[in-house]
Each structure stands twice: as structure tokens, then as C-alpha cells.
Chain A
Amino acid sequence: DTEVTQTPKHLVMGMTNKKSLKCEQHMGHRAMYWYKQKAKKPPELMFVYSYEKLSINESVPSRFSPECPNSSLLNLHLHALQPEDSALYLCASSLDSPSYEQYFGPGTRLTVT
């Protein structure tokens, strides 16, 4: 398996909802990432997990909570989001660190109403 998969593809949630985004890879990669991408902008790094430990948190608000249950799975738990959080959320993975090739999943298009 040479792909990063993400579910769901689309998500609409209210500001009081709690939802989770899921990312999975079976390439044996030990680094996994969450990015946020707004329209016509580059991906912005949110979190980095290295060997299942959170190694980078780019000052992301606590309403976003990442979780790495094992080396193949990465979740992003969402709670009390704001409309400005609407974006494409991309997961990526690499063998060890960003200095190895980083592969992106198809993303979850999130709309907060």
C-alpha cells in the first residue's frame, strides 16, 4: 500500500459539535503530519508526530487535538470550532522526518457552520 488515506472526504459541523478526522498509512512511515490549507494558499503545518510522539505543535488552538494511536493511524479531534476553521485538512507521512519524501492524503474538506 503506497497511499495515505483520509476519512471523511467532506465534513460539515456546527460550532458546538465534536468530530474527528482520521488518517491512515501502511507504508511503514514513522512521521505523520496534519496540515491546514485554505483556498489558494499553501499547506500550513499544524502538528508533527514522530515515532508516535508529538514533536511539533505549531501553536494550534486547543480546539484541535491530535492523537496518534499507533504508527499507522493519526486522528485530529475537533471541538468548538469557528467558521474560520473551515479549510482542507491534509494528512501526510514520511519515512522519518520532512527531509524524507512526504506524501499527502486526499484531505478532508471541513465546513464549520
Chain B
Amino acid sequence: QEQLVESGGAVVQPEESLKLSCTASGFIFSYYSIHWVRQAPGKGLEWVALISYDGNKKYYADSVKGRFTMSRDNSKSTLYLQMNSLKPEDTAVYYCAKRFGVAFDVWGQGTRVTVSS
């Protein structure tokens, strides 16, 4: 069955960097665009970024533009989110989600990022 598994979440200090991974199985990874979505504690979901199936196009929310970078390695069915200059407001559970039309049809269980001094 189609599955996404996130990893790499950690506790870091403000201004530090962190790289998240998202590994796919059960579908042809290289065919699909993938999103990152996050949920801060006690808050709703927030769309973060999208990368096209071939990695050539990337789109970011204003809140992370210039600090976060998405990439992918289709040979490894893995997606990455490089997060730099982290802020306390980046504290959240980060989900990767497969694009289905204009919706998100397969989600991972999430990985937790805490930014605190």
C-alpha cells in the first residue's frame, strides 16, 4: 500500500539547521509531486512547500521562503526538507503528503521539530 514515512525531527536551538527526510513506498515516487505540511502545537495544519515530480519546480509558503529548501532523490524514493535559521514558530509536527490532483491523498505520520533555547 502507498506509504510515506518522515524522519529527522529533533530539538534544536533558534538559528540552527535541521534536515527532514520523507521516504515513500508502494507507489512510483518519481511520478508524483510531494508537499510538506506542518502542525504547530494546538494549531491547525499549515501548508509549507511543494516539489514537482522531477524536482525542477519548488514552491514555498511565505513563512518559510528563503529559509527552507525542498529536494528529492527519486533513485531513493526520498524527499528532503532542509530547514535553516529555525525560529521558535517553526516548532511543529511536519508531514509529507503526496499530491493527488489538487489534494493530498497519502500522508505520513509526521516527525516532530522543536525549536527552543
The answer to whether A and B assemble together is no
Give A residues with C-beta under 8 Å from B: none
Give B residues with C-beta under 8 Å from A: none
